C-alpha cells in the first residue's frame, strides 16, 4: 500500500506480535503500524495488558464519581493546577479555535506518587469513592507500559533506536482522563454549536483509549470524510498526537477527531470514556527529526520543548 491509502476502518494489530514475535512478525507489526500512522493516524490494538475485570472496575468507579452532586465534585477542582490534576467541570474545556465549551466533564490522574517528577503536582482523590485510586493507578501503569511498547515500534519505523522514547516517557507527565459526556435533558438549553467533543488533535505523543460506553467517536480521513472509530471489546484504540506529528515533521499523522452528539432520542443518556494521554518529560526536544525533512517535506514546525508546547496548547483550549 502507499501513502494514498484510504482506510474505511482503522487497522487492527496484536501487540504480542511486536513484544513476543520473531524477527519477521515484529517487522510486519512495525510496517503495518507505520503505514496506518502515516495515513489515518489510528489503530486498534489487542493484547494490551488491561483485563476485563480492571476495565469494568475502573468504569464503575468513574461512573460513581460523576454521579456525585456538582458541588461535591467541584471540591476536587483546583484552578491553579490548570486542570492538570483532579476534576474539570462541565463545559470548561473547548477545542482549539472554538469559543463554545465541550459537553463534558472529566478527571485527571497523573503519575503515581512513587514515580512522579518533583515538578508534577500530586494526584487528587475523592473521599467519597473508595477503590477509584487503586483501579486508576493500576490502569495507568498498564497503559503506560503498552504505550512504551507502541513507541518502540514507532521508533523502529522512524529508523531510530528501538528504545529512543523510553527514558523520555517512563516518568513523563502522562494523564489518565476519565470523561463523562453528560446527558442533555433539554437540548434547547445548550448553544446550537455545542458538541460532546469538537474536532481536535490530541496534544501528546500518543493516546491510548480504553474504550467508550457508547458510539460517537469519529476520525477525519484524508479525503475529508468522517468515519466512525470502532474497536472490539478486547481492543484499545491508539492514535498519534500533535507532539509526535511535530517530532516527525507530520510524517506520522495527528488526525483530527471528534465525539458527535447522539441522536435526539439518546441525548438524555451518558457516555463515558477513559483515554490515556502519553506525554514525555517536559524537557523533551520536539525539534523535527532530521530524517523526516527533505526537499519534498521541508521543516514545518518551529523548535520547541514538550513543556513549552503543552503550556501553549493548554492556553488555546481554555485550561490555562
Distance separating alpha carbons of residues 228 and 215, to the nearest angstrom? 8
Q: Is residue 59 part of a domain?
A: yes
What pTM was computed for the model? Answer: 0.92
* Structural domain boundaries, residue 109: 12-316
Residue 9's pLDDT is what? 80
Distance separating alpha carbons of residues 68 and 288, to the nearest angstrom? 45
Residue 197's pLDDT is what? 79
Give the CATH number for residue 192.
2.60.120.330
User: Which is nearest to 277 in space by CA: 125, 144, 94?
Assistant: 144
Q: Is residue 199 part of a domain?
A: yes
Residue 102's pLDDT is what? 84
Q: Is residue 171 part of a domain?
A: yes
Q: Is residue 6 part of a domain?
A: no
- Cell output for 5: 491509502
How many domains is the chain partitioned into structurally?
1
User: Which is nearest to 254 in space by CA: 293, 217, 296, 219?
Assistant: 219
Distance separating alpha carbons of residues 57 and 69, to the nearest angstrom? 21
Per-residue confidence in pLDDT tens, the chain, 320 aa: 334 567 778 899 999 999 999 999 999 999 999 999 999 899 999 999 999 999 999 999 999 999 999 999 999 999 898 888 999 998 787 777 777 788 899 999 999 978 778 889 999 999 999 999 999 999 999 999 999 999 999 999 999 999 999 999 999 999 999 999 998 887 777 777 788 877 888 999 999 999 766 678 898 988 889 988 888 889 999 999 999 999 999 999 998 999 888 888 888 889 999 999 999 999 999 999 999 999 999 999 999 999 999 888 887 777 76
Phi-psi region of 92 (alpha: psi -120 to 50; beta: other; left: phi over 0): alpha
Q: Is residue 152 part of a domain?
A: yes
Residue 58's pLDDT is what? 97
Amino acid at each position: 500500500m502507499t501513502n494514498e491509502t484510504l482506510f474505511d476502518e482503522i487497522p487492527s494489530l496484536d501487540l504480542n506480535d511486536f513484544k513476543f514475535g520473531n524477527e519477521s512478525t515484529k517487522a510486519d507489526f512495525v510496517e503495518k503500524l507505520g503505514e496506518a500512522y502515516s495515513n489515518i493516524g489510528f489503530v486498534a490494538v489487542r493484547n494490551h495488558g488491561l483485563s476485563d475485570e480492571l476495565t469494568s472496575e475502573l468504569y464503575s468507579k468513574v461512573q460513581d464519581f460523576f454521579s456525585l452532586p456538582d458541588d461535591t465534585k467541584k471540591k476536587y477542582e483546583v484552578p491553579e493546577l490548570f486542570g492538570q490534576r483532579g476534576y474539570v467541570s462541565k463545559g470548561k474545556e473547548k477545542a482549539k479555535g472554538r469559543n463554545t465549551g465541550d459537553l463534558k466533564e472529566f478527571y485527571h490522574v497523573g503519575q503515581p506518587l512513587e514515580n512522579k517528577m518533583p515538578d508534577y503536582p500530586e494526584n487528587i482523590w475523592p473521599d467519597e469513592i473508595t477503590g477509584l485510586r487503586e483501579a486508576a493507578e493500576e490502569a495507568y501503569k498498564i497503559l503506560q507500559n503498552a504505550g512504551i511498547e507502541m513507541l518502540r515500534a514507532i521508533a523502529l519505523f522512524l529508523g531510530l533506536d528501538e528504545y529512543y522514547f523510553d527514558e523520555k516517557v517512563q516518568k513523563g507527565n502522562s494523564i489518565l482522563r476519565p470523561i463523562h459526556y453528560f446527558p442533555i435533558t433539554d437540548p434547547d438549553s445548550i448553544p446550537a454549536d455545542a458538541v460532546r467533543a469538537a474536532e481536535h488533535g490530541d496534544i501528546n505523543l500518543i493516546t491510548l483509549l480504553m474504550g467508550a460506553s457508547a458510539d460517537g467517536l469519529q476520525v477525519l480521513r484524508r479525503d475529508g470524510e468522517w468515519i466512525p472509530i470502532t474497536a472490539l471489546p478486547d481492543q484499545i484504540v491508539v492514535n498519534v498526537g500533535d507532539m509526535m506529528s511535530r517530532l516527525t515533521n507530520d510524517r506520522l499523522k495527528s488526525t483530527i477527531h471528534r465525539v458527535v452528539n447522539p441522536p435526539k432520542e439518546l441525548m438524555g443518556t451518558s457516555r463515558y470514556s477513559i483515554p490515556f494521554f502519553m506525554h514525555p518529560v517536559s524537557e523533551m526536544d520536539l525539534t523535527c527529526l532530521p530524517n523526516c525533512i527533505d526537499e519534498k517535506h521541508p521543516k514545518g514546525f518551529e523548535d520547541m520543548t514538550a513543556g513549552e508546547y503543552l503550556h501553549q496548547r493548554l492556553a488555546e483550549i481554555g485550561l490555562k
